[in-house]
Structure formats: C-alpha cells, structure tokens
Amino acid sequence: MKKIIVDYRITDEEISNLLKFRYEILACPPCESLYAAVCGHPDMLLHIIDNASIMVHKDMPKEFIEVLKKSNINVFLSNSSLSSFYPYDIILNAVSISNLFVHYIDYTDENLLDIMSKTKNLIKVKQGYTKCSTAIVNAKAVITSDIGIAKALNKENIDILLLPPGDIELPGLNYGFIGGTCGLIEEKTMAFYGNLDCYTYGKDVINFLKKHKVEPFYLRKGKLIDRGSILTVTSNQ
C-alpha cells in the first residue's frame, strides 16, 4: 500500500484532499535541531531510496521508525545528525531521479552517499537544498528554480522547466521553493499545496505538466506554500 509522507503541520483541508486517493498519510515528526520553518519538512528529514526503502535522520523518533518498519519498509539511519547550521541541515536533501543522484555531494550524509553510489551516477551541484529546489515530474523531467541544477540535469538529457525564484510562501522565511510545494502521488498526478492559478508562473508549470501528461491536483486554495515536498513510499502491506 502506498504511503504519503508529509509535514506534520499540514492543514485539515490538505489532509481531506489527500485522503481522496485512499493512501495512508504519515505525518513526519519535527526535528528540534532544525529551525522552525523547516523542522517538519520531509525532504529535510529523510530520503526515499527506492519504493520500499527510506533513510531517515539518525535522531528520528523511534515511534515513526516503527510505523515504517511495521509496513515492511526498509529503514536506514543517517550517519550524521541534522543541525540548523548550513550545510549540516542538507545532508539528506538530495534528488534521486532515473539513474541519477543529484546533490551537493561534499555534504551528503556518508551513509546515504554510500548506498546511492552503488546504483546511481552521482551528480554534484552547488545547491545544497537540492530536493527543495526540484519538483520531479517523471524520470526524465523536472521543474526547478536553480540554474546549477538545470544545467547539470540538462547534460543528462532531463527535460527542464527553469523558473524564477519567489512567489511561494514559507512561513518564517522570505519565500519557499517549487520542489517543496508538491509531489507525485501517482504516476500521472502531481499534488500541490496551493493552486497554480495563484502562482505567477503557474501557466508555465501547467503547460509543462501537460507536455508530460501529468495532471495537477490542488490540496488547498490560494498561493503555493512550501511544506517540504510530498513524498511517497510503497509498503508491502
């Protein structure tokens, strides 16, 4: 059964709309070592290795780890603890797409890098918040606001929609990132925290999704908000 991992602070409206897909919703518990704006962001706290394997930060509450394990999901722990000081907050904030692992490799958690280097090509970028900055549309297409990520993935024949930064809410900070506003919950369905009609570059995103035969699904009314990505994992239950 597919499980959707979200920030523990998502609203009742967003939960209600996610439940229409009849998947189990897992609220990612906060990490007190991170600053409040991102303390519950899944893309900061864990990394999906594959459909049934996750790496979580080493200080993740045991109760959450047990929930994952009871669903027959393989759970790995990071080597390092998260910290609010950059770059020690980005250790798991990487992009895995196709046969590529994209991150500021110098600061990727040692355990995560060891696992991913065995099956994927490592692509180094200077953007540490790699997953925050990147919305994965499919194995060959992404949306990003980071020029370095766009250039690196373009060389790998990934179709890129490069957007200007801004116009995304992230309470406590000036603005959020496009990758943190959304996530594929089905192969052809991308859920968004907010409505693309309320986003300055919404038409560009809609047209790019249409090009790749992906439909947007809106979890809330109003502007896009960065809640640290919507991540999915498939358990054996």
pLDDT computed for residue 236 by the predictor = 64
Q: CATH topology for 2-234? A: L-arginine/glycine Amidinotransferase; Chain A (3.75.10)
pLDDT computed for residue 51 by the predictor = 86
Instruction: Establish whether the linkage from the previous residue to 61 is cis, with ω within 30° of 0.
Output: no
pLDDT computed for residue 36 by the predictor = 95
Taking the C-alpha atoms of residue 37 and residue 31, their distance in angstroms, rounded to an integer, is 11
Nearest Cα residue to 124 out of 108, 147, 137: 108
Domain ranges for the chain, please list them: 2-234
pLDDT computed for residue 183 by the predictor = 98
**Tokens representing residue 226 in the block:** 């960065």
Buried/exposed code over 128-153 (b: 16+ C-beta within 10 A; e: otherwise): bbbbbbbbbbbeebbbbbbebbbebb
Longest dimension (CA), the chain: 42
Q: List the alpha helices (DSSP H) in the chain.
A: 12-18, 42-45, 62-70, 110-116, 147-154, 202-211
pLDDT digits (tens, 9 = 90+) for 208-224: 999 999 999 999 999 99
Spatial strand order in the sheet of 95-97: 95-97, 100-103, 121-124
pLDDT computed for residue 237 by the predictor = 57
pLDDT computed for residue 13 by the predictor = 97
**Cβ distance 78 to 89 under 8 Å?**
no
pLDDT computed for residue 223 by the predictor = 98
**Tokens representing residue 54 in the block:** 């996750």
pLDDT computed for residue 234 by the predictor = 84
pLDDT computed for residue 1 by the predictor = 81
Stretches where the chain sits below pLDDT 50 are none
